[in-house]
């Protein structure tokens, strides 16, 4: 297991890549990544947060508690972990390489806490159809950007301005989204469930 660290960069530009190497085959078979800071004044971290809003009618004598999505920007963002990959041929081995390469980055973060934020974020891939479509994105993101999920996801890795410029600033009532979009809200894709299980079991 190794990590390559070059030079000294400010926290918001620092990325740490950890890899698992098969020394006999001389090839990398797994990786995990840490972005020291995700969200700055120049490039904020954007996300939707769920709130509850109460509505009550005196005339009808009834009320509703609605869940709403509110677009948020974080200019002092957390550390983000990601890039957890293991070659298919090396999965389900007794060494549990995925677990090792995942937890190794937390060990490094614990040894050098000054390089990272106190908050840690992990963005997990949502459920996707066989065509690679996100039902939640189709119901919301595509209507405001005109982009399919895969294209928007790829673009957002290098350019985030379009998200802040095009996404609505007002609350979005979840009851107005179609049932397919509501059903997948907060869920992760099948391929991401092992990582979700790992975090849920070992997160401190």
> Residue 185: which of 49, 82, 45 has the closest Cα?
49
pLDDT digits (tens, 9 = 90+) for 62-110: 999 999 999 999 999 999 998 888 999 998 888 888 888 988 999 999 9
pLDDT digits (tens, 9 = 90+) for 2-41: 444 555 788 888 999 999 999 998 999 999 999 999 999 9
Average pLDDT over residues 112-141: 91
pTM of the model: 0.77
Q: Percent of the chain at pLDDT above 90?
A: 61
User: What spatial distance separates the first Cα and last Cα of the chain, rounded to whole Å?
Assistant: 23
Tell whether the model's pLDDT for residue 204 goes beyond 50: no
* Per-residue three-class SS string for the chain: CEECCCCCCCHHHCEEEEEEEECCCCEEEEEEEEECCCCCCCCCEEEEEEEEEEEEECCCCEEEEEEEEEEEEECCCCEEEEEEEECHHHCCCCCCHHHHHHHHHHHHHHHCHHHCCCCEEECCCCCCCCCCCCHHHHHCHHHHHCCCHHHHHHHHCCCCHHHHHHCCCCCEEHHHCCHHHHHHCCCCCHHHHHHHHHHHHHCC
Q: What is the pLDDT of residue 201?
A: 47
Mean pLDDT of the chain: 88
Tokens 């996404």, residue?
A: 167
pLDDT digits (tens, 9 = 90+) for 37-63: 999 998 899 999 999 999 999 999 999
pLDDT digits (tens, 9 = 90+) for 178-196: 999 999 988 887 777 766 7
Q: When comparing pLDDT for 123 and 198, which is higher?
A: 123
Q: What is the pLDDT of residue 142?
A: 94
Average pLDDT over residues 117-129: 89
Tokens of 182: 């509501």
Q: What is the pLDDT of residue 123?
A: 85
């Amino acid at each position: 297991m190794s990590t390559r660290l070059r030079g000294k960069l400010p926290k918001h530009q620092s990325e740490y890549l950890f890899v698992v190497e098969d020394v006999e085959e001389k090839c990398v078979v797994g990786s995990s990544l840490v972005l020291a800071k995700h969200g700055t004044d120049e490039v904020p971290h954007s996300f939707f947060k769920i709130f509850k809003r109460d509505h009550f009618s005196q005339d009808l004598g009834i009320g509703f508690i609605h869940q709403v999505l509110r677009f948020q920007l974080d200019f002092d963002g957390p550390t983000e972990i990601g890039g957890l990959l293991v070659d298919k041929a090396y999965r389900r081995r007794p060494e549990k390489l995925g677990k090792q390469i995942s937890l190794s980055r937390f060990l490094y973060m614990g040894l050098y806490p000054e390089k990272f934020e106190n908050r840690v974020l992990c963005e997990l891939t949502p459920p996707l159809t066989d065509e690679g479509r996100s039902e939640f994105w189709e119901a919301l993101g595509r209507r405001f950007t005109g982009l399919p999920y895969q294209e928007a996801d790829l673009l957002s890795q290098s350019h985030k301005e379009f998200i802040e410029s095009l996404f609505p600033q007002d609350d979005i009532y979840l009851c107005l989204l179609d049932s397919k979009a509501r059903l997948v809200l907060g869920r992760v894709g099948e391929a991401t469930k092992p990582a979700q299980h790992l975090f849920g079991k070992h997160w401190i």
